[in-house]
C-alpha cells in the first residue's frame, strides 16, 4: 500500500506542484476542507483502474438486477380494449389541438 497524507485546500488556491509530484510517486494525497476529506489525488493509472472497477461493479449490478427482475407479469392488452375501457373518460378529456 502506498503512503498517504492530507493537504488542506485554501479558498481560491490550487494544489501545489509538490502535492501533485507526491501523487505521481504513488502517494495518495487527500484534499481537505476544514479538516474534512473532499477528494484525493492519485496517479492517473490508479484513477483509471478505479474508474474501470467502478464501471464493472455497476455493470454487474445492472446484470444482476436484470436477471432477478420478474418476467413481464402482465399480459399485453390490445389498444382497442384500453380505448373501449376508457372511452367515457376520453370523451370528456379536453381537446388540446
pLDDT tens for each residue of 19-71: 888 998 999 999 888 889 988 999 989 999 999 999 999 999 999 888 887 77
For residue 5, pLDDT over 80 is answered with: no
Task: Report CA-CA distances (Å) from 91 to 77, 86, 94, 96.
Answer: 20, 9, 8, 13
The pLDDT-based confidence of 1 (bands split at 50, 70, 90) is very low
What is the helix (H) or strand (E) element at residue 85, kind and residue range? helix 79-85
Indicate the SS3 state at residue 89. Answer: helix
CA distance 79 to 56: 40
pLDDT in tens, 48-60: 999 999 999 999 9
Contact present, 68 and 78 (Cβ < 8 Å): no
Q: Which residue has the cell 380494449?
A: 81
Q: What is the mean pLDDT of residues 77-92?
A: 89
List strands edge to edge, sheet with 4-8: 4-8, 28-33, 36-41
Amino acid at each position: 500500500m502506498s503512503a498517504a497524507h492530507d493537504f488542506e485546500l485554501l479558498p481560491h488556491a490550487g494544489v501545489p506542484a509538490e502535492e501533485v509530484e507526491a501523487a505521481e510517486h504513488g502517494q495518495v494525497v487527500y484534499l481537505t476542507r476544514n479538516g474534512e476529506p473532499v477528494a484525493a489525488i492519485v496517479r492517473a493509472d490508479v484513477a483509471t483502474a478505479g474508474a474501470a472497477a467502478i464501471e464493472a461493479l455497476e455493470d454487474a449490478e445492472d446484470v444482476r438486477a436484470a436477471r432477478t427482475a420478474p418476467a413481464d407479469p402482465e399480459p399485453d392488452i390490445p389498444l382497442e380494449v384500453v380505448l373501449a375501457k376508457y372511452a367515457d373518460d376520453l370523451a370528456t378529456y379536453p381537446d388540446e389541438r
